[in-house]
Chains A and B, each alone.
Chain A
Amino acid sequence: MDTVAHAVVPGPAFPVPYRVVARRAETADTVTMELANDDGPLDAFAPGQFAMLTAYGIGEVPISLSAVAVAGGRTRRLVHTVRAVGAVTRALCGAAPGAVIGVRGPYGTAWDLAAAAGRDVVIVAGGIGLAPVRPLVHAVLADRSRFGDVALLVGARTPADLVFRDDLRRWAGAGAQVAVTVDRPAGDWDGHVGVVPSLLPQARFDAGHAVAFVCGPEIMMRFTAEALIRAGVAPARVQISLERSMRCGCGWCGHCQLGPLLVCRDGPVVAYERVAHLLTVREL
Chain B
Amino acid sequence: MASGTRPRTPPPALLDATALEALVDALRARGFTVMGPTVRDGAVVIAELTSAADLPYGVGVDTDAGRYRLRARDDRAAFGHSAGPQSWKNVLHPPRALVWSADRTPDGSMAGGEPARERRYALLGVRPCDLAAIKVLDRVLTGGRQADPVYTGRRDGNLIIAVECTEPGAVCFCSSMGTGPGTDDGFDLALTELVDGGEHLFVVRAGTGEGAEILAGLPARPADEGIVERAREAVGAAAGRMGRTMRPGSLPDLLAEARGSPHWDDVAARCLTCGNCTMVCPTCFCTTPEDVTDLTGDHAERWRRWDSCFDLDFSYLHGGSVRTSGRARYRQWLTHKLGTWHEQFGSSGCVGCGRCIAWCPAGIDLTREIDALAAAGAG
Contacts and interface: CB of A to CB of B under 8 A. Distances in A.
Contacts, number: 157
B286 interface: yes
A2 B324 CA distance: 32
Contact of A6 (B110, B118, B260): B118
B106 interface: no
Contacts of B344: 257, 260-262
A265 B144 contact: yes
Contacts of A255: 286, 288, 307, 314-315
Interface residues of A, number: 49
B340 A259 contact: yes
Interface in B311-356: 314-319, 322-325, 327-328, 332, 335-336, 339-340, 343-344
Given A8-B101, A14-B112, A59 B289 contact: yes
Interface residues on B, range: 35 or more
A253 interface: yes
B250 interface: no
A100 B109 contact: yes
Contacts of B294: 1, 3
A281 interface: yes
Contacts of B318: 85-86
Q: Which of B299, B301, B327, B344 has the most CB of A within 10 A?
A: B344
A257 B316 contact: no
Interface residues of B: mostly helix, strand, loop or mixed? mixed
Contacts of A102: 102, 110
Interface in A236-284: 243-245, 247-248, 250-255, 257, 259-262, 265, 281-284
Interface string B76-117: 000000000000000000000011111000001111111110
Contact of A251 (B144, B151, B317): B144
A14 B322 contact: no
Given A11-B113, A247-B288, A100 B108 contact: yes
Contacts of B100: 8, 11, 13-15
Contacts of A17: 109-111
Interface in A116-174: none
Interface in A1-52: 1-4, 6-15, 17, 19
Contacts of B327: 283
A15 B335 CA distance: 33
B335 to A, nearest CB: 8
Nearest to A102: B110
Contacts of A189: none
B297 interface: yes
Contacts of B301: 1, 3
Contacts of A281: 259-260
B285 interface: yes
A54 interface: yes
Contacts of A283: 322-325, 327-328
A266 B72 CA distance: 50
Nearest to A56: B300
B289 A8 contact: no
B42 to A, nearest CB: 27
Contact of B343 (A14, A243, A260): A260
Contact of B149 (A11, A251, A260): A11
Contacts of B303: 2
A72 interface: no
Contacts of A247: 287-289
B314 A14 contact: no
Interface string B254-293: 0010011000000000000000000000000111110111
B287 A14 contact: no
Contact of A8 (B114, B286, B340): B114
Nearest to B342: A260
A191 interface: no
Given A8-B101, A254-B287, A260-B344, A3 B299 contact: yes
- The 7 A-B pairs with the shortest beta carbon distances in the complex, nearest first, are A57-B293, A254-B286, A8-B113, A283-B328, A260-B343, A7-B116, A85-B318
Given A13-B148, A254-B285, 8 more contacts: A1-B293, A6-B116, A13-B302, A56-B293, A98-B108, A252-B285, A254-B309, A265-B145
14 contacts: A3-B101, A9-B113, A11-B114, A56-B291, A59-B289, A86-B318, A245-B314, A245-B316, A250-B145, A252-B141, A252-B151, A255-B307, A265-B145, A281-B260
